[in-house]
Structure 1
Amino acid sequence: MYKKLFTLLLLVLPCHLFAQKNLLKDFPEGFGPKEVGKRLAYRFVDRKHMLHAGKWISYPETFNWTGALKYAAITKDKTLLSLLEKRFEKLTSEEKQLLPIMNHVDLNMFGSLPLELYQITKDKRYFELGMPYADTQWAVPENATPTQKEWASKGFSWQTRLWIDDMYMITIVQTQAYKVTGDRKYLDRAAKEMVLYLDELQRPNGLFYHAPDVPFYWGRGNGWMAAGMTELLRLLPKNSEERPRILKGYETMMKSLKQYQSPTGMWNQLIDEPECWAETSGSAMFTYAMISGVKHGWLNKAEYAPVARKAWLALVPYINDKGDVAEVCVGTNKKNDKQYYYDRPRNVGDSHGQSPYLWCTVALLEK
């Protein structure tokens, strides 16, 4: 009897209700996260360094490296892990001068990379290299400016500057420190910082200005916020004082992004400008945030899984035969000039774009 009823339900109910759960699992050939991730992760191994100010390993390279490590770990690719670790060994020996100093939000984030290696290998050397980058983000230096000291006196990082980029740079190294120590101070102070940025920069439509004095919804900048909130929501316990505010900010942003997704599946360099060009790094960051939201239950699966799938299917064709992502906005400072964002150069293979694609592959592969 029950078997007949179930058969009847299969005939009567719309097929998409049963297919819904597979929207983030079943992809056409060439679009699967494992095959896409392999192309991108192995591509990193032989890339030239992308330096900050021509001196130190940059944040785009750091996140590209970490993304490749996460991919190697989730796929249990020992060959890739060995290649990535060997490259890091070179960085800490003959290329030691390229290790970033610890005096800026875009440099301290480097600590997230050795701390990722520590989580995978349990090699204490990586822990000892990474932790000072997290700790000095809250340790006020003697030459700090009055503004920096004021931020610190309120319990925030002295590196606070209210640029949306910061909410990944600060969040990622502090959450990594929490993962390897279990000390809630790292998680709590990152969450407090995030609430500050939400209150200062998020607009009623859910999107974020690049900075208080730059009223434009820049794609990748908003992507840093989306990814930063995602990293925190993965870790913050339900009894966290800051979790409801961050979840609300995340949900409001995702609702707005759903509305601004173009018919092609992408998001534009300026999100709310339909005539602006489609940009890959920000689009991939939004996709990562949505995939994670669906899988962790922060977002309604029926509503957001199709959005994330559409985005992923749109993103993959931007990868060329070398494993390089096209249409990546170059590094971008804030500027109160809309045309400035329209005119930003676009690179191929820029690590700003490679890393969020890898985040997407890992999120899709997660159970």
Structure 2
Amino acid sequence: MKKTIQCLLLVLGVSQLQPGTCEAQSKKAKVDFSNWPAGTSPQEVGKRVAEHFVVTPHTNFGRSTPPKVITYPETCTWYGALTFAKQTNDKELTQKLAQRFEPLFGKRDTLIPIPDHVDYTVFGSVPLELYMQTKDKRYLELGQRIADKQWGPPEGPRVKPESHEFYNQGLTWQTRMWIDDMFMITAVQSQAYRATGDKKYIERAAKEMVVYLDSLQKPNGLFYHAPDVPFFWGRGDGWMAVGMAELLRSLPKDNPNRERIMKGYKTMMASLLKYQAESGMWRQLIDDPESWPETSCTGMFTFAMITGVKNGWLDAGTYGKAARKGWLALVSYINENADVREVCEGTNKKNDRQYYLDRKRNIGDLHGQAPILWCATAWLR
């Protein structure tokens, strides 16, 4: 058993064993998680992107006007920057990210989204992470209130007839059966579990995930953008990949839904492996070779694979190599301003292949910045 653990550590690049130990296993893995070409290490890239976010004004999906509330791409990037700060023990960065939040406790509290929609409720993951790092109870109270609201009774103008049906099934009334939901919902509920230790949060998220997997996952492990839109859109599937990886990272081993979620996750990862381009990137439409390489989904799929290898769910040789290749391809799209290129703009569903191929390719869009920070954190865990 001891030798097995030592060999795994060697494969992951974190062992201090003497050269030659478990040589056969390390050669078979053919992946190095510690030696990076100049300027591409998770520490360097994560620091650049996080510091860039700190000085970035609140964004509004590329519009010139400021947002009415914090948008979900900003939430995702903020969360990513915080996890990176924690993993690198960068107290100064954590403090800067906390200072960004401070006005929301005062006159700018209107920027806090009303938690009546998954895209707004995910915001709770940020104060919950800040609580875990600072122990400031203000963050816990806000984040927990948001997480609880998601599973409370339906109320407000966004309630639909089906909202009551989902609620009566023990699901959140905010259920939409959109693949994006499986990051938005599971992120805040997983964070509430991490912050409080109360299993009800992670159990909620797991139950919800199984319903989505049973309803939406295709035999090849991937997900259509919507039931009536038979296209495997990169970022849409990315939300599912990250959502499952993040959930499994904290889901107790005795949870009755863990096996089902792990099956869905591994099936998806195996399919993604087949569609990774020779460059290391994944495409705007995952299975369409004429589609363009897209950075946000590449970051998301890379994160999911890093997390799987680091936790022993995926074969280190096969998936570690794919993750490293994805990361090195991804960081080549980051410019001198720490902005990533080729990020698909916000995209609604449409049953039209050309619609997806023609989507605008943004630079510095937080949909793309966030997964870079998630990956940098995951490499260092």
Aligned equivalent of 1:182: 197
Shift of 1:210: 1.3
Aligned equivalent of 2:164: 149
CA separation in 2, counterparts of 1:120 and 1:190?
A: 23
Structure 1 letter corresponding to 2:366:
S
Q: 1:129 aligns with which of 119, 142, 161?
A: 142
**Range with bigger deviation, 325-334 or 263-272:** 325-334
1:49 lines up with 2:62 in the alignment = no
Q: 1:24 aligns with which of 30, 33, 52?
A: 33
Structure 2 letter corresponding to 1:30:
G
What is the TM-score with the length of structure 2 in the denominator? 0.90
5+ residue gaps in structure 2?
1-18
Paired residues for 1:32-71 under 5 Å: 32-51=41-60, 54-71=67-84
CA separation in 2, counterparts of 1:51 and 1:88?
A: 17
5+ residue gaps in structure 1?
1-8
Aligned equivalent of 1:310: 325
Q: Give the alignment's Cα RMSD to 1 decimal.
A: 1.9
Q: 1:118 aligns with which of 115, 125, 131?
A: 131
Aligned equivalent of 1:301: 316
Secondary structure class of the residue paired with 2:256 = coil
Q: Is the 8 A contact 1:329 1:347 kept in 2?
A: yes
Shift of 1:69: 1.0
Shift of 1:10: 5.4
CA separation in 2, counterparts of 1:92 and 1:217?
A: 40
What is the TM-score with the length of structure 1 in the denominator? 0.93
**Cα shift readout 1:19-73 (whole Å, capped 9, x = no counterpart):** 8475222111111100010100000011121237931100100111111111111
Paired residues for 1:349-360 under 5 Å: 349-360=364-375
Structure 1 letter corresponding to 2:342:
E
Shift of 1:284: 0.3
Task: Note closer, same or farther for the CA distance 1:146–1:301 as it changes in structure 2 (3 Å cut).
Answer: same
Secondary structure class of the residue paired with 1:190 = helix
Q: Is the 8 A contact 1:138 1:157 kept in 2?
A: yes
Secondary structure class of the residue paired with 1:170 = helix
Structure 2 letter corresponding to 1:118:
Y
Shift of 1:129: 1.1
CA separation in 1, counterparts of 2:166 and 2:88?
A: 41
CA separation in 2, counterparts of 1:320 and 1:281?
A: 15
CA separation in 1, counterparts of 2:265 and 2:217?
A: 10
1:280 lines up with 2:295 in the alignment = yes
Q: Percent identity?
A: 59
CA separation in 2, counterparts of 1:49 and 1:164?
A: 25
Aligned equivalent of 1:202: 217
Paired residues for 1:192-271 under 5 Å: 192-271=207-286
Structure 2 letter corresponding to 1:64:
T
Structure 2 letter corresponding to 1:308:
A
Shift of 1:18: 4.1
1:161 lines up with 2:167 in the alignment = no
CA separation in 2, counterparts of 1:296 and 1:21?
A: 18
Q: 1:104 aligns with which of 117, 131, 135?
A: 117
Task: Note closer, same or farther for the CA distance 1:313–1:40 as it changes in structure 2 (3 Å cut).
Answer: same
Secondary structure class of the residue paired with 1:349 = coil
